[in-house]
């Protein structure tokens, strides 16, 4: 999660400076992965708790709520990225700098090594 958070920061920063909507979007997708992983981990911790007085059937349904939250977050992120991309395409903005390709290449390398 730390490597993904660092990659997200790198992609967003470089993408904004290089005027690359694609790299910024990839950075937000990576940030969403970090947040989703954290939510899933938290949801699994809660769902694995044994039954108690307030929850005689256990906490397993919390896993469903976590999945719903992750799905809603990914949907909202996709909508914002799409809207921003369309807005950028209509505004005749600056073309992205060539050096904006390096964060995705670094990301591929890091993910290949860690897999």
Is residue 115, in this structure, part of any structural domain at all? no
Is residue 114, in this structure, part of any structural domain at all? no
Is residue 112, in this structure, part of any structural domain at all? no
Is residue 25, in this structure, part of any structural domain at all? yes
Is residue 66, in this structure, part of any structural domain at all? yes
Is residue 113, in this structure, part of any structural domain at all? no
Residue span of the structural domain in which 32 resides: 2-107
Residue 100 structure tokens: 């904006």
Is residue 53, in this structure, part of any structural domain at all? yes
CA distance 46 to 77: 25
For residue range 55-112, what is the model confidence (pLDDT) as tens digits? 888 888 888 999 999 999 989 988 988 898 888 788 877 788 999 999 999 999 988 8
Write down the residue that tokens 């809603």 correspond to: 72
Question: What's the structural domain count of the chain?
Answer: 1
SS3 sequence of 36-82: HHHHHHHHHHHHCCCCCCCCCCCCCHHHHHHHHHHHHHHHHHHHHHH
Is residue 20, in this structure, part of any structural domain at all? yes
For residue range 5-59, what is the model confidence (pLDDT) as tens digits? 999 999 999 999 998 888 998 999 899 889 999 999 999 999 888 888 888 888 8
């Amino acid at each position: 999660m730390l490597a993904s958070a660092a990659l997200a920061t790198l992609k967003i920063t470089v993408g904004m400076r290089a005027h690359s909507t694609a790299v910024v979007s990839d950075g937000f997708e990576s940030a969403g992965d970090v947040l989703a992983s954290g939510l899933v981990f938290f949801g699994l911790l809660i769902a694995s708790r044994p039954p108690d007085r307030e929850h005689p059937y256990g906490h397993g349904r919390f896993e469903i709520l976590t999945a719903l939250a992750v799905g809603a977050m990914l949907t909202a992120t996709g909508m914002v990225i799409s809207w921003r991309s369309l807005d950028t395409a209509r505004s005749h903005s600056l073309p992205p700098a060539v050096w904006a390709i390096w964060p995705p290449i670094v990301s591929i390398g890091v993910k290949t090594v860690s897999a």
